[in-house]
Structure formats: C-alpha cells, structure tokens
Amino acid sequence: MTLHLGYGTNGLTDLRLDDALGLLADLGYEGVGLTLDHMHLDPLAPDLAERTRQVRRRLTSLGLRVTVETGARYVLDPRRKHGPSLLDPDPDARAARTALLVRAVDVAGELGAHAVHCFSGITPPGTPTDTAWKRLTEAITPVLEASDRSGIPLAVEPEPGHLLATLADFHHLRGLLGDPGPLGLTLDIGHCQCLEDASPADCVRDSAPWLRHVQIEDMRRGVHEHLPFGDGEIDFPPVLAALAASEYRGLTVVELPRHSHTGPELARTSIDFLRAALSREATTRAAPDRATTTKGAAPC
C-alpha cells in the first residue's frame, strides 16, 4: 500500500520555512503542501524568483516533493479573510485573485510541484448563483491556460460554505468549462466526512479519475473543523486503502491549519497515526490470504 505522505506548511506557520522542511524530512514525510504566504514563500515579494529557487534547492536536498497551495488567509487583503475571491463583484478584485493563481502556477513550475491547489470562494451576499458560476468560470480560465502551458494541473478543492462546496459542484464546474484537461480535484478527506452523502472511502473511489491533490485530517459530520487524527469520526484504514488502490500517486497532505502552535508535535503524531492505520489495513487485507493458504496447506 503506497501512499506519499506530506504535511501542510499552513500548520507550521510558527516555524521558518527551512526549519519546517527539515522537520518534515526528519520525521519521514515524503513531501509538503506549501502554502504561498508572507511567512514562508511570499507570492508578492519582490525577490520571489530568487527565493523560489532557494526553496527548490532546499526541497531537492531533503528529497521532498511539493504541492503549491493557495489558501493563505490575508495574502491579498489584510482586512478580508481569503479576499478578494474569484467571485468578487469587483472585476479588478477578481483579476487580482486570478493573477495570484497564475503566479502560483509559475512558482509551481519552478519548484517542480505536482499540482496547484485553489478554491472558489464564498458567494457574495445578493449574488445570484448563475452569476457566481459565470464569474468563477471566467476568472479561472486564465489559470487553467497557465496550467496547460506549464503541464501542472490545477486542483480545485470543494470547500464547505463556498460556491464550489461538494464533489457534485466540482463536476458542475467541469461541465461548464467543457472538461478541460488541466482541471483536477483536491479532495479533502475531512470535508467528505463533514458534508458528502457518501463515505470518505467511497468519495475517494468515486473521485479517483480526477484526483490531483489530497488533504487529510479528522472531522465530524456536519462540523467544518479540522481535527487531529483520533479526535473526529473518520475510520481511516478504509480511506487509506482506497487511496492506495487508486491511480493517484501525488501527495496526501495532513491539513491542520489551526494548530500551528503545536505543529511540530502534531507533525510527529500525525505520521505515526497514518503509518499505524496503513499497517492495520495491510494486516486486515492479508488475513484472508493467510486463512486461504492455511486451509489449503498439507498437514505437518
């Protein structure tokens, strides 16, 4: 059962980026979900190009893979969380978000990332649903064009409370855009537990053809709160088995953005938990095989 485990830098914001990457490599992670933000790799900094080259050298020296994530809370507007979005009523504001995502694709190309993550944003009050979808398709098209040029897929995440909140919404966007090749899916396992009708393991199986990035954490039904493993309701061995059985070979990144104050310890306990869950699932799968072998064996 092969999974490539990573950890998100949005859960390590109290560490310098070099220190965070070193920590993850020492713990045995294979990669990192790198959020472009002011404390780690600022996408608006004048020395972004040189800093990006430095980060690539650091990733290479540590043997870490990378996904570029774009969920920084205040990187564009210091007064509006995740603002402006791709759904903003102001065309110039939408263009600023589009430009940031295009820049993220460029950074991903320099880093050798396997995907760029993004989400739609919350529908502004008073905005008709059809208008919101029209804004989204128009604003995301230049990003998909950049992804196509770079060969790095854009992985859109269904986010509770956003216009694009569910897997059905992701497929609706695919249909509106004509199913473009660069468009893929970020599947957050906790979000599946939170609001999808299907189980998280079934969500993985149903989404396998479009998976380009996976985020993982614990969560409870109906409550959008990212929890350390064991604090929620998810049965993880079947989820990990479904991921391993799919054709997805990207990173599965622990997503605990509200736990930076205990980030180093949670990074350690998270990889221990996931390894133990993988081991339990492997043991369970092997048990019927051993039983069959024993039943058919010649007596001693």
Contact 184, 147 (CB under 8 A): no
Q: How confident is the model at residue 282 (pLDDT cuts 50, 70, 90)?
A: confident
Encode 10-74 in three state secondary structure.
Answer: HHCCCCCHHHHHHHHHHHCCCEEEEECCCCCCCCCCCCHHHHHHHHHHHHHHHCCEEEEECCCCC
Q: At what angle do helices 200-207 and 167-177 cross, to 10 degrees?
A: 20
Residue-level pLDDT at 288 = 59
Contact 31, 66 (CB under 8 A): yes
Residue-level pLDDT at 199 = 98
Largest CA-CA distance found in the chain, in angstroms, rounded: 79
pLDDT tens string 152-162: 999 999 999 99
User: Residues 127-149: what's their mean pLDDT?
Assistant: 98
**C-alpha to C-alpha distance for 6 and 259, rounded to whole angstroms:** 16
Half-sphere exposure of 26 (CA within 13 A, CB side): 10
Cβ-proximal residues to 262 (8 Å cutoff; 6+ apart), any chain = none
**C-alpha to C-alpha distance for 256 and 269, rounded to whole angstroms:** 12
Cβ-proximal residues to 169 (8 Å cutoff; 6+ apart), any chain = 158, 163
Cβ-proximal residues to 219 (8 Å cutoff; 6+ apart), any chain = 189, 190, 191, 193, 194, 225, 226, 227, 232, 233, 234
pLDDT tens string 51-73: 999 999 999 999 999 999 999 99
pLDDT tens string 214-255: 999 999 999 999 999 999 999 999 999 999 999 899 999 999
Specify which residues 215 forms β-bridges with.
Answer: 188, 253
Residue-level pLDDT at 1 = 57
**C-alpha distances in Å from residue 16, one per residue of 56, 68, 262, 267, 297:** 15, 17, 14, 15, 58
pLDDT at 300 over 50: no
User: Does 285 or 220 have the greater pLDDT score?
Assistant: 220
Contact 271, 251 (CB under 8 A): no
pLDDT tens string 73-105: 999 999 999 999 999 999 999 999 999 999 999
Question: pTM for this structure?
Answer: 0.93
User: Residues 186-192: what's their mean pLDDT?
Assistant: 98
pLDDT tens string 4-33: 999 999 999 999 999 999 999 999 999 999
Residue-level pLDDT at 297 = 40
Contact 66, 112 (CB under 8 A): yes
Specify which residues 32 forms β-bridges with.
Answer: 7, 66
pLDDT at 298 over 50: no
∠ CA(158), CA(161), CA(163), 5° rounding? 60
Residue-level pLDDT at 283 = 78
Nearest C-alpha neighbor of 13 from the set 202, 266, 228: 266
